[in-house]
Chains A and B, each alone.
Chain A
Amino acid sequence: MQILDLVRQSLRDKNAEQQLRSYFIGLQGVLAFLFITPFAAMRFFNDELFKAAIDIILVLGMGSLSTYTLLFANKRHINFIVYVFASFYILGSIAVVYFSDIYTVMWTYAAAISSYFILSSKQAILASLAILISCLIIGFSRFTAEEVFLVSTTFVLTCILSFILSVQITHDRRVIENHSFYDALTGAKNRTLLIRELQNAIEEQVRSKKNLSLITFDIDHFKTINDTKGHDIGDQVLKEIVYTANSLLKPEQNIYRLGGEEFFILTHCNDNQSKLLAESIRDLVEKTPNSSDLTVTLSLGVAIYKQGESLQSWTERADKALYASKENGRNQVTVAA
């Protein structure tokens, strides 16, 4: 039970992709032990001591590495361990083809597929190419032409299909992770990410003393649009506004949607620049023709971060500025005091 706790502990401080990798490394250690040890024993009793020694080195190396990964390894170690593991696969494949009889070429298939579980897709392609080329060079004198053809085509097909599967898994994992940070409708970042990044920005501001400003905006009479034109048109309007506003932002400036029709933009501009940016967003949204022929306007509030201010009071000031814009007749920008 204590061991399980250790495993859980070491898995907890890794991200999803690294967790998956350490889990696979652990599994492959077990499989290596189960599948290679019998052959080591067999070779030992057949008096093929050298080959038995290679087998034992493979088993011990992979076994101890996977144990270490599961129990102790942290984030930084794991990237290194992955490379060591992959080199075991390559060297092991070369060794079996070089030292053993011709049939052992079958081991390379297992080694190649295994590498797709622990390396990134591109690295795994390189590893399997290395295995293929070295095995062909070594085995060329012992294989007939048909055999070379069979080995290379089946091996390449196996690798391509594994590559596609591993790209698919990486893709799905990323999408799942993104889902918790991005708004599905507009593609803007969501509230979870807003709070996290505002906190990070404040922490960094304490050190760097850079300008930090928050622009918040809200669509005027959005409820009326939703009620009279239906939610589909409302959704369309939201999407188009994010698209329009995004066209004015630099790559490092992001839009956050808090649900509903409220948005935030975090920038490193000073008060003048932020006001100009806010004005240009307001102007562009007003002038951009809308797919549903509605005039959509925005009310905006700008709040510059004051030294030592809390997150709460900062966002509240931005909100109040937005509220003031609404009070004064909408479709305008107010800078918070």
Chain B
Amino acid sequence: MLLFGSTKENTLKLERLLKRLIFLRRLIGSLYSLIFTIFLFSLNSLNAAYVSILLTVLAPSVYGIALICKASKNTLQHIANASSIIFAVGNVAIIYFAQDINFIWLIIYPTTIAVYSSSTSRYKSLVLFFSIFTVFLILYPILPSYPLLVFLMTYTLVFTFSHLFSMHINIDNQTLAQLALKDSLTGLQNRRALEMKMSEESSSIEGVIFLDIDWFKKINDTHGHIFGDDVIKALGDVILKNKALSDEAYRYGGEEFVLTCKHAKSSKLSAEQIHKKVQEIEFQNGCHITVSVGVALKNANESLTELIKKADQAMYQAKQTGRNQIVFATELEALYLNKRES
């Protein structure tokens, strides 16, 4: 218990820290440019100082305007991507204008990691590669070969590590997004995933299968909740193994499952296959389960939400007329399928 007891609170603490840090990051970027502007003015590199002023003012003002206009999260991200590219190009320009200041090229190190930390664009590595190439061209005539070599090598290391950082964050974000849409017990997609799909305007779904375990409450009450969960897990496995490849399976609620099918014909086959295989599952205590299945096929212009409702009603019909059977939403559809088959 101790092993996992504190993890959740630690994570919450981390989350708060992270939010503050991300806010701080915007502040630091401008503050840094501001200090740099003063530094460049004091050394009389006027052109470089102008670029630095631009960097100080541009990013926060664009971001501020976007916030005031209540831009969407996507737009804000695009702005962040664009301003990180501007930051990279601007810093290269500063290096170019302030060539006579020794060690000015050091600013390319934080620039690299700044671009990696705020941009989600796929092209950031490309942008950085070109900027470092430009910096190399600028430095080539002024630096002796030994420092140039050190510069290239250390920069390669910094670049590699920043790249690794952002790669890991990308992978983690993808995993997180997937986890949020997954049902942890069965490994199928969850209700949220189905609702997301329902909100999409055009769907290529031709049929919906609605499954419900018969007498599940009774199973839970007589064999215990842990066994009840085993049943749901086993059913999830059967669905995964017996559905058509193009079908997608969701756990809709407690003991309800939904399959969306891309082909009208596969929906009938999958439904029959799953209905048959469920009866063959053997549990350790000799218990068997059955399912009631409702199938609805798409008529012209029906939305996925309507289809699911129809399949749900068909499933209800199956429950009412004796359970352990498949019922199609309308007799017409069943006829249509039989005709196509013969």
Could you tell me which A residues sit within 8 Å of B by CB distance? 20, 24, 27, 31, 35, 101, 103-104, 106-107, 109-110, 113-114, 116-117, 144, 146-147, 149-151, 153-154, 157-158, 160-184, 187, 189-193, 195, 197, 200-201, 216, 226, 231, 251-252, 254, 258-262, 312, 315-316, 319, 323, 326
Known: A109-B109, A113-B113, A113-B161. A147 touches B8 (CB 8 A): no
Q: Which of A162, A182, A184, A258 contacts B165 (CB 8 A)?
A: A162
In the docked arrangement, what's the CA distance between A144 and B103, Å? Answer: 10
CB distance from A98 to the nearest CB of B (A): 16
B101-129 to A contact mask, C-beta < 8 Å, 1/0: 11110110110011011000000000000
Known: A106-B150, A150-B103, A167-B17. A31 touches B254 (CB 8 A): no
- Chain A to chain B contacts (Cβ below 8 Å), 16 pairs: A27-B164, A103-B150, A106-B109, A107-B154, A109-B109, A113-B158, A144-B102, A146-B39, A146-B102, A158-B113, A161-B25, A161-B114, A162-B165, A165-B165, A197-B4, A259-B254
- The interface-forming segment of B176-184, B237-245, B266-274, B298-306 is B176-184
Known: A164-B22, A165-B113. A173 touches B162 (CB 8 A): no
In the docked arrangement, what's the CA distance between A179 and B32, Å? Answer: 38
Taking A106-B150, A171-B11, A262-B225 as known contacts, 6 extra A-B pairs with beta carbons closer than 8 A to each other, sorted by chain A number, are A158-B110, A160-B25, A161-B114, A169-B165, A197-B1, A197-B4
Known: A158-B109, A170-B14, A171-B18. A184 touches B180 (CB 8 A): yes
B179-200 to A contact mask, C-beta < 8 Å, 1/0: 1100011000001000000000
B-chain residues with CB within 8 Å of residue A200 when the two chains form the complex: 1
B-chain residues with CB within 8 Å of residue A154 when the two chains form the complex: 106-107, 109-110
Q: Assess whether B225 is in contact with A171, with CB atoms less than 8 Å apart.
A: no
Q: Which of A107, A146, A169, A179 contacts B184 (CB 8 A)?
A: A179
Q: Assess whether B226 is in contact with A195, with CB atoms less than 8 Å apart.
A: yes
In the complex, which of the residues B32, B156, B179, B226 has the most CB atoms of chain A within 10 Å of its own CB atom?
Answer: B226
In the docked arrangement, what's the CA distance between A169 and B113, Å? Answer: 15
A-chain residues with CB within 8 Å of residue B110 when the two chains form the complex: 154, 157-158, 161
Q: Assess whether A165 is in contact with B114, with CB atoms less than 8 Å apart.
A: no
Q: Assess whether A113 is in contact with B225, with CB atoms less than 8 Å apart.
A: no
B1-40 to A contact mask, C-beta < 8 Å, 1/0: 1001101101100110110011011001000100110010
Asked whether B203 is an interface residue with its Cβ less than 8 Å from the other chain, the reply is no
A-chain residues with CB within 8 Å of residue B151 when the two chains form the complex: 103, 106
Q: Assess whether A178 is in contact with B173, with CB atoms less than 8 Å apart.
A: no
Q: Assess whether B25 is in contact with A164, with CB atoms less than 8 Å apart.
A: yes
In the docked arrangement, what's the CA distance between A20 and B164, Å? Answer: 12
Chain B interface extent, by class = 35 or more
In the docked arrangement, what's the CA distance between A203 and B114, Å? Answer: 51
A-chain residues with CB within 8 Å of residue B113 when the two chains form the complex: 113, 158, 161-162, 165
Q: Which of B24, B117, B172 contacts A173 (CB 8 A)?
A: B172
CB distance from A294 to the nearest CB of B (A): 19
A-chain residues with CB within 8 Å of residue B229 when the two chains form the complex: 191, 258-259
Q: Assess whether A31 is in contact with B173, with CB atoms less than 8 Å apart.
A: no
A-chain residues with CB within 8 Å of residue B154 when the two chains form the complex: 106-107, 109-110
In the docked arrangement, what's the CA distance between A107 and B184, Å? Answer: 46
Could you tell me which B residues sit within 8 Å of A by CB distance? 1, 4-5, 7-8, 10-11, 14-15, 17-18, 21-22, 24-25, 28, 32, 35-36, 39, 43, 101-104, 106-107, 109-110, 113-114, 116-117, 146-147, 150-151, 153-158, 160-162, 164-166, 168-169, 172-173, 175-176, 179-180, 184-185, 191, 220-221, 223-226, 228-229, 232, 253-254
Chain B residue at smallest Cβ distance from A160: B28
CB distance from A36 to the nearest CB of B (A): 9
In the docked arrangement, what's the CA distance between A252 and B168, Å? Answer: 34
Q: Assess whether A178 is in contact with B8, with CB atoms less than 8 Å apart.
A: yes
Chain A residue at smallest Cβ distance from B190: A184
In the docked arrangement, what's the CA distance between A4 and B257, Å? Answer: 42
In the docked arrangement, what's the CA distance between A187 and B8, Å? Answer: 9
In the docked arrangement, what's the CA distance between A20 and B172, Å? Answer: 13
Q: Assess whether B254 is in contact with A258, with CB atoms less than 8 Å apart.
A: no
Q: Assess whether A165 is in contact with B116, with CB atoms less than 8 Å apart.
A: yes
In the docked arrangement, what's the CA distance between A221 and B227, Å? Answer: 21
Q: Assess whether B8 is in contact with A114, with CB atoms less than 8 Å apart.
A: no
CB distance from A300 to the nearest CB of B (A): 14
Q: Assess whether B169 is in contact with A172, with CB atoms less than 8 Å apart.
A: yes
In the docked arrangement, what's the CA distance between A231 and B223, Å? Answer: 26
Ranked 4 nearest A-B pairs via Cβ: A172-B172, A110-B157, A157-B110, A103-B147
CB distance from B74 to the nearest CB of A (A): 20
Q: Which of B35, B117, B220, B253 contacts A161 (CB 8 A)?
A: B117
Known: A113-B161, A144-B102, A184-B180. A175 touches B32 (CB 8 A): no
Known: A109-B109, A167-B17, A169-B172. A252 touches B5 (CB 8 A): yes
Q: Assess whether A180 is in contact with B184, with CB atoms less than 8 Å apart.
A: yes
B-chain residues with CB within 8 Å of residue A182 when the two chains form the complex: 8
CB distance from A297 to the nearest CB of B (A): 18
A-chain residues with CB within 8 Å of residue B166 when the two chains form the complex: 165
In the docked arrangement, what's the CA distance between A179 and B187, Å? Answer: 13
In the docked arrangement, what's the CA distance between A87 and B147, Å? Answer: 25
In the docked arrangement, what's the CA distance between A259 and B226, Å? Answer: 10
CB distance from B195 to the nearest CB of A (A): 10
Chain B residue at smallest Cβ distance from A158: B110
B-chain residues with CB within 8 Å of residue A262 when the two chains form the complex: 220, 225
Q: Which of A117, A153, A226 contacts B36 (CB 8 A)?
A: A153
A-chain residues with CB within 8 Å of residue B173 when the two chains form the complex: 172
Q: Assess whether A103 is in contact with B146, with CB atoms less than 8 Å apart.
A: yes
Q: Assess whether A175 is in contact with B176, with CB atoms less than 8 Å apart.
A: yes
Q: Assess whether B1 is in contact with A254, with CB atoms less than 8 Å apart.
A: yes
In the complex, which of the residues B8, B156, B232 has the most CB atoms of chain A within 10 Å of its own CB atom?
Answer: B8
CB distance from A113 to the nearest CB of B (A): 5
